[in-house]
Chains A and B, each alone.
Chain A
Amino acid sequence: MIDFELSAEDKATIEAAHKFAEEFMRPISRYYDEHEHEEPDEFIQKSMGLRSQGGVFGLGVAAALRVEEFCWGDAGLMLAMPGPGLGGAAVFASGTREQIGRFLTRYGEDQPCWGAMAMTEPHCGSDTAAINTTAVREGDEWVINGEKIFVTAGKRAMEKSKGLTVVWATVDKTAGRAGMKPFVVEAGTPGVKVEKQEKKLGIRASDTVTLVFDNCRIPFENILGSPEVRKVDKTDTAGFKKAMATFDATRPIIAAMAIGVARAALDFVKETLQKEGIEIRYGLPRQKLTALERDVMEMESQYKAAKMLMLRAVWMMSQLQPNNLESSMAKVKAGLAATKITQKAVEILGPLGYSRKCLVEKWMRDAKINDIFEGTGQINMLVVARRILDFTREQLK
């Protein structure tokens, strides 16, 4: 039965997340935006207490809605919260039971711990198949060499905790996509170095670093999925597609993040208008609406549209239904909607919107990342288009 009602238990955890965002994220939001690279230690300790309520990350409907609340609080700080992150999601999606136990148990322990995923390289972003980082087998080990950039939570995962990073490397350059494999590199492994820490437009509380792998040796068992490279022909990308399934799980979560930031801006606009005695008259015919009412209703419906697509994608995931199309749809829509909504909020609020006294301008900067990471809006649009048209990557480039 089509139903939009959450269980009482889910409602409670979502409300708890909202309260946490209100009490512990909003008050420090501006500080960590203006003090980039400063570690929010106290906040990190506080967020450890959330684990009893289902943790920060997770892959169900309630988990996604908690992410929305945390990002309503602060998207940068949300990404600074300890947890397995995207690396953990990759382990969860394509690891064996043994690997899941070996790599993810640490996230339930008392010390804060982070997980990261390293895909992008200086010369390639969306074109993931073009990566140059190599993994060469030597006896019982893999030797990894290469440079990864834009690794979210890379510093916290590799230097500040006993975390891990899932690194994508090729075991056979001639095999193209079929040769690309994910490897788990744990913190403290010799040969991996955290280098540049990026200065960013937004989500400044989230660390974004370069990881350099210089003859970094990891156990053979740290490869996720099969080490086999099936070289039937270059267009056979079954293995690659399976590994990319991680994105089907993470894209709706990014959508939830975008939606959280968008709602922060939307709520603020509505509260501000309410204080001024301006009411949004929903039932009115559009010829009678003011331009302001139209704008707010447009923002709100964009938010709703994105949220519905996000909910469907995470719900399908929780039902173990394939959601490749739906998760990309949610990601495209949410990334764009959050970008537009926050930009409009700055415009509507005028001097309040542009001023760093309020958080609106920050939300506009924060929102933009959701249209970029985990696949830009355009790459996700390409995924959607190929699925809708039933076209291969050769048929639609």
Chain B
Amino acid sequence: MNVIASHVTSYKTLGYVLILLLVFTTITINVTSYNLKAWNVAIALAIAGIKGYFVLTYFMHLKYENRIIRAFVLVVFSLFIAIFAITFIDYLYR
């Protein structure tokens, strides 16, 4: 199966995604000047997550990719979360 038929992301889309990423980067840098205690980390991670999402969906083409690859990504992501959560069950309750 050759790739000739697969979806081609336009230059415009890619440009818009970059702008979006730069906007979020600016936001995350500026948020650090406010002291929001625990929320600082949460917001930083949330923004990183959003940026990651856009890199995965558009730059890495996941939005247009075969369902199976998307399923794989979900599995890996869940594994990630599970490992973190379970490890913290130890550290949080010591």
Instruction: Tell whether A pairs with B.
Output: no
Q: Which residues from chain B sit less than 8 Å from chain A, CB to CB?
A: none
Q: Which residues from chain A sit less than 8 Å from chain B, CB to CB?
A: none
